[in-house]
Amino acid sequence: MTKALNIAVVGATGNVGREIIRTLVERNFKVRRLDAVASENSAGKEISFGNDEILKVINIKDYDFSDCDLAFFTAGGKLSRELCKKVAAKGVMVIDCSSYFRMDKDVPLIIPEINAAAMSGHHNLIATPNCAATQMLMALAPLHKHAKVKRVVASTYQSVSGAGKAAMDELFAQTKSTFSYSPIEAQVFHKQISFNLIPHIGDFLDDGDTDEEVKVVNEIKKILDPAIEVAVTCVRVPVFIGHSVAMNVEFEDAISVKKARELLAKFPGVVVHDNVEDFGYITPKEAVNYDDVYVSRIRPDKSVKHGLNMWVVSDNLRKGAALNAVQIAEVLAKDIKTL
């Protein structure tokens, strides 16, 4: 029987931090005390924890982690780089939702349904993957085990919530401005996001890829198989919540559409909604507030010997971030000695 834990959510006022708090409640995670921690600008704000409790946000500069069992870090790579290892050294189990430690060879990068065993030897620090990579991997993992994935070519269609609350506010403001014939202002994104698509997420690298695209490639290799070749274009779309990915997957061995559907339907956390008819697929709007990864439009790729095309949709704030982090915590909480 697991004990109730003292938990800190760092970045509690952000999209992912709020969703982690909500997910802890929904999954009845055993919490003795929950501390909402954020920057000086957010200190003193109030956040709901369940139906009855109101948390007052604590300034990260004033927070003492010494009485904490578990800390979720959701405030970005800069703060994670500064604090995660220091907090872990105090004996606190740290789950980091930033990209900073994902490719560190000494830090496990975990999706519990796929590689929970890799958490051994974690040194009190575990990283969660990129949101788009997570939903791709949830669809790829059961197929890879059966037919061995050789190559993936994908285009992501990522909602603005992945860029934070300010990005969501910008989409809302630009949409209003469009209908009121007011000037469009772009501050978070480089170009107008309302009624538009932007093939640019993250910073450009010398070879023309963005760092978001490199994250997806590297994380698929680290979690599933370093031999898989991956090419991806990441696109920001005018959707508030919910990422979508169009994937072309080439396999070493033969795999039928029927078999793929069977394997995906049996995999925890994946739902196959794939009817060859109008309304026979899932859109990001329908995935919001749900934990599962949805796979639709599974069909043969006739351009290669063994290939499938598929459409993968998920709530990026749930399985793509908060839910995955809480699932990691659930695994760890079973081992009291770990905490």
pLDDT band of 236, cuts 50, 70, 90: very high
Summarize pLDDT for 16-27 with one digit per residue, the tens.
999 999 999 999
Domain with CATH 3.30.360.10 in the chain: 133-316
Q: Is the pLDDT of residue 2 over 80?
A: no
The tokens for 265 are 């339907």
Neighbours of 50 (CB within 10 A): 14
pLDDT band of 51, cuts 50, 70, 90: confident
Question: Catalytic residues, which ones?
Answer: 131, 243
Q: Quick one: pLDDT at residue 159?
A: 98
Averaged pLDDT, 270-284? 96
Summarize pLDDT for 74-98 with one digit per residue, the tens.
999 999 999 999 999 999 999 999 9
Q: Record the pTM.
A: 0.95
Averaged pLDDT, 191-215? 97
Q: Is the pLDDT of residue 146 over 70?
A: yes
Q: Quick one: pLDDT at residue 121?
A: 83
pLDDT band of 339, cuts 50, 70, 90: very low
Averaged pLDDT, 298-321? 98
What is 5-129+321-338's CATH number? Answer: 3.40.50.720
Domain 133-316 in this protein, CATH class: alpha beta
pLDDT band of 337, cuts 50, 70, 90: very low
Domain with CATH 3.40.50.720 in the chain: 5-129+321-338
